[in-house]
Structures are given as C-alpha cells and as structure tokens.
Structure 1
Amino acid sequence: MELGIIGLGKMGFNMAERLRLAGHKVVGFDFNKDATAKLTANGSVGVNSLEELVKNLAAPRAVWIMVPSGDPVDQTIAKLEPLMQKGDTFIDGGNSNYKDTQRRHAEATNKGFNYVDCGTSGGVWGLKEGYSMMIGGDKEPVERLRPIFETLAPAKNEGWGHVGPSGAGHFVKMVHNGIEYGMMQAYAEGFSIMKAKKPLDLDLTQISKIWQKGSVVRSWLLDLTADALAKNPTLDGLEAYVPDSGEGRWTVTEAIDLNVSAPVITESLIRRIRSREENNFTDRMISIMRGAFGGHDVKKS
C-alpha cells in the first residue's frame, strides 16, 4: 500500500522506515531537505514539495500529517486540498485537539475527502516496538487503511483500534497523555522521597531495576526511567523545567466540563507549570505569610 507522510521528524521518519521494511511504498515531505534526502537514501521516496508528494501517490491517496497541532495542520490541509482528488484521505497523526479534528472532518467530508484522526503513541521507540494507535473517523477509510495500521502497530491485531467517530482517536490520546502526566509525577515523587532519605543511602538505580520485575508498579515508563538513571544517577546537567504539549491541559478542561474529578492529572499539570517558575512568587508569598502570622523566620536570598 502507498502512504504519503508530511513531517519527517524522528517519529515520522521512523514510521516511514517501519512501513518501508514491510514492503509499503512511502513518499515523504519535509521542509528540511536533509530529512527528505535521508528518506530517499533509506529506500523510500523523499520529495521537496507537496505537489511532488501528491504526484508520486496513486489515487485514492492517503496522506499522513505529522506536524504540530493547531494552525500548521490547517495550513497543510489548505495547501493539499487543491492538489488532491475526491476520495483521497487525510490522516492527522499528531496531537490535535479533538474539537479541531471534528471541525476538519466536517469540512473535508463536505468537499469529498476522507478525514481520519489517529492518536499515536510510541515516540522514538516506535520503529522497534511498534506504535499504539487510537483511531477515529468513518469506518470505510479506516478499513481501507488497515494494512498501514497493522504494519505500524506492535502486532497485527494488537496495539491499535478504531475507537469511534471523528475526534474519538484524538480524544482518547488526550486522556492517554493526561494519565501519562500522573504516572510520571508519581514516579518522580517516589524517587525524590527515597533520595531525600540520606541516612539509608538508597541506590535509586538499583531500586528501579528491582521494581522492573514482579512489582505492581512495573511499566514501560519505569523501564525507561531505570535506563535513564543507569546513565545519569544524579541527573547532572538537567534543569527542573518540565514543558507540556497541551494534552494534559485539554484533559483537565474536559474533566471539569464533564464533572469528573481528576485531581491526580490536574495536580501533575500544575506541578509542570510550577517547575518553570524561577524563585517563584507563590512560595515567597507563603513564606512571608508564615512570618506574618506565626513569627516564623523568613529565608532571604
């Protein structure tokens, strides 16, 4: 089967490579010409324009968009539409807001195109391990794309599924990432508590490896944590700055709108935001209040 991929970052490139190795034709475009040249060198087709990408695909075409969420997705679709034909399919494999996805689906189908949303997890490990894919959209184009999903998944019938109508794939991926925030926060807090217990001189790398086998808290995330600690046990050279890419915020907003209590995910998001505040005003306010009502010493810089 043929697939066009727009956006050849690490994830897009690895997806193209996994498909190529399984015998699919991949045509890739990226504004970085080195990336397209590398794709061609690996045996796929790297092109330097959207026009070339469309010309190199047989109808009905399927184009997988791997660009940042928001306006870049809309701009990419607007540039592709005049080049494509009715019956062609757009696949949004990025982390788009599901409400934007539903709007794009309506706009695309009104023009005779198909629109599929695919929440994709696996990161840089997807080439080796396969990708977890949560897919939304109409049944017919999803079924037509089955060979692509089966190839990208960890196994033919595992790690992927058509979870619902348009927007469902990105909605589920949003919640997936919100859960990820909470899991990461819990691991980080637990290891911080153990590190703070100086008299016991705990070896965090050793403990992470113990937990990898038999423990109820074992996970792939813990495996990655153990590998990272083995390479840098004291986290030298790292700043306490944790960005977020939007999905955690959207998950918290949805929880509020749906009257669902989600304190763990919410607090993990707040902690990420807190990590970006240098000598933050909030903590200084608490310190001065303690000094005011209780006469507690205030530590000064």
Structure 2
Amino acid sequence: MRIGMIGLGRMGGNMMSRLRKKGHDVVGFDVSPESSRDVDSLESLISSLETPRTVWVMVPAGSATDTTVDALCGLLSEGDMVIDGGNTRYTDDVRHAEILGKKGIHFMDVGVSGGIWGNSRGYALMVGGSQYDFEKVSSIFEALKPDGEDGLVLAGPTGAGHFAKMVHNGIEYGMMQALGEGFETMMRSELIDDPAAVMTSWRKGSVVQSWLLDLFARAAQDDSTLQNMPAVANESGEAKWMVEAALELGVPVPVTATSLWARQVSRGAGADTLRVVSSLRAQFGGHITHESEK
C-alpha cells in the first residue's frame, strides 16, 4: 500500500521504517525540518497519495491530534481513511470519528506498544473500528505487528483500540512498580549480595520472566545499583485515565492507582503532603523526622 505517515518521532519514524522494509510505500511528514520527512506540509502529503487515501497519525495526544484531525478533515475526501496510532484518550476517538464521518472519511484508532524496539521486534496493535475498515488496511497492520500469530487484535468499535492501550499501560505501570519495589527491598537487605544479579536470574524459568526483566538486565549491565538513574518517573496520562474509567465502571484498581501515585510523588508532587504528615505526627506523637532519617 501507499500510505501517509504524520509524525516522525521515535515511534512514527521507526514505524515508517518498518513499513518500508516490509514493502510498503510510505510518504512521511513532520513539522520539524530536521526530521526524516519526505514532504514539508500536510497539503503536499495528501496530494502525493492516490484516492482512496490512508493517513496514519502519530502525534502527541490532545491539541496536536485535534488540530491534525481538523486539518485532515478539510483536505481528505469521501472514502479516505485516518488512522490515529498515538496515545489519544478513547473518549476523543468518538468525537474525531464524528468529525471525519460527516465527510465520509473513515476512522480507526490503534493502540501501539513496542517503543523504540518495535522497528525490529514489531508492534503490538490494538485496533478500534469496523471489521470492514480493519480488513481494508490489514496489510499495514500485518507489516507492523511482530512476525507470528500474536500481536494484533480488533478490540472493538471506535475507541476500543485506545481503551485497550490505556489498560495495557495501566498494567505496565503496576508491573514496573512491583519490579522496582522488589529491587529496593533486596538493595536494603544485608542478605542479598547482588540484587541486580538475582533479578536478572529470573529471566529464565521464573513465572515472572518478561521483556521488562530483559530490559532491566540491559539497564543494570553497566550500573548494577542503578544509582546513575534519576529517581523520577513521569506518567503519560493513560494510567490516570484508566483509574478514572475504572471508577466509573465500579472496578477496584489499587495496584494501578498506587503505581500512578508513586510516579507523581517521584516528581516532587508529594513533598508538601509529606511535610504535613511529618508535622502532624510530630504534633500528636512527638515523632520527629531528622534530616539524617529522610
């Protein structure tokens, strides 16, 4: 297929590369002149594609995606298709589909997981949209997903792809938090000589073996205590959306919520909270936290 790719950052650029390696013709556009773009405007991108056109959007969620969808609505024609592969909130997908649908433009949302390794390993793809549209561009999905049977699913109608990716990221938060807590517990124990070696040993034969453990082993190879890494972990927003969605659905998600709070505290958001806690403990129980105990 010939497809347009909008947004050539770490994900979009690698996805364009994988599609080309799999034999697809990709025209890339990015607002940055320093990117690997083929054209310098959305207008040029659209004019380079034959109808019915397919355009894959990989830009930041929120206003950037809204602006891009609005612009495409004015440039595309009936029968064309827009695929949003960014981390858009699932509730926005319905709105985007309605905007594009008024002109007969098809829309699909795709949750994409694989990070910077997706170019070589393939991407896990969670798709939202109709069965008809899914089959129409299935060759694109097949090229992007890992080789083999797994890694691709039509999760449901519009919004389902990004909803599934939101849940995926919430689970990811919990898994990483658990690995981190286990590592710190061993770091503080006098019994364990090399916590990194212990965790690395779990990569084979253990019920907790995973790609995350493989990535941990890679990170710890040259820095077994990870002391050179900042103790700060940002959050993309999707775990927060999952907690909100779970509350609306009446589903308790304590693991996801706790891992989300931990990331927010790591950015200093909890500093004032902890000051209040320390002050109150000192007031009612005389518990004084000295600087050396922090």
TM over 0.5: yes
Indicate if the aligned counterparts of 1:87 and 1:112 stay in contact, CA closer than 8 A.
yes
CA deviation vs aligned residue, 1:156-191 (integer Å, no higher than 9, x gap): 542001110000000000000001110010000000
Indicate if the aligned counterparts of 2:200 and 2:216 stay in contact, CA closer than 8 A.
no
Q: Please, which runs of 5 or more residues in structure 2 have no aligned partner?
A: none
Indicate if the aligned counterparts of 2:73 and 2:99 stay in contact, CA closer than 8 A.
no
Give the Å deviation of 1:235. Answer: 2.1
Matched with 1:187 is: 179
Indicate if the aligned counterparts of 1:204 and 1:229 stay in contact, CA closer than 8 A.
no
Q: Given residue 187 of structure 2, which amino acid in structure 1 is its aligned partner?
A: K
Confirm or deny that 1:210 pairs with 2:201.
yes
Matched with 1:223 is: 214
Matched with 2:80 is: 88
Q: Given residue 209 of structure 1, which amino acid in structure 2 is its aligned partner?
A: T
Give the Å deviation of 1:9. Answer: 0.5
Give the Å deviation of 1:201. Answer: 4.5
Confirm or deny that 1:31 pairs with 2:31.
yes
Supply the distance in 2 between the matched residues of 1:156 and 1:112 (Cα, whole angstroms).
34
Give the Å deviation of 1:202. Answer: 2.4
CA deviation vs aligned residue, 1:26-82 (integer Å, no higher than 9, x gap): 000011222235xxxxxxxx1111111111111111100000101111111222222
Matched with 2:12 is: 12
Supply the distance in 2 between the matched residues of 1:174 and 1:116 (Cα, whole angstroms).
16
SS in 2 for 1:234: coil
Give the Å deviation of 1:299. Answer: 1.6
Indicate if the aligned counterparts of 1:150 and 1:157 stay in contact, CA closer than 8 A.
no
Bigger mean CA deviation after superposition, 116-125 or 138-147:
138-147
TM-score, structure 1 as length reference: 0.93
CA RMSD, 1 decimal: 1.5
Indicate if the aligned counterparts of 2:5 and 2:56 stay in contact, CA closer than 8 A.
yes
Indicate if the aligned counterparts of 1:137 and 1:167 stay in contact, CA closer than 8 A.
yes
Runs of 4+, deviation exceeding 4 Å = none
CA deviation vs aligned residue, 1:237-283 (integer Å, no higher than 9, x gap): 32221111110000000111111111000111011111111781222
Give the Å deviation of 1:300. Answer: 4.8
Matched with 2:69 is: 77
Supply the distance in 1 between the matched residues of 2:20 and 2:273 (Cα, whole angstroms).
52
1:46-125 equivalences under 5 Å are: 46-125=38-117
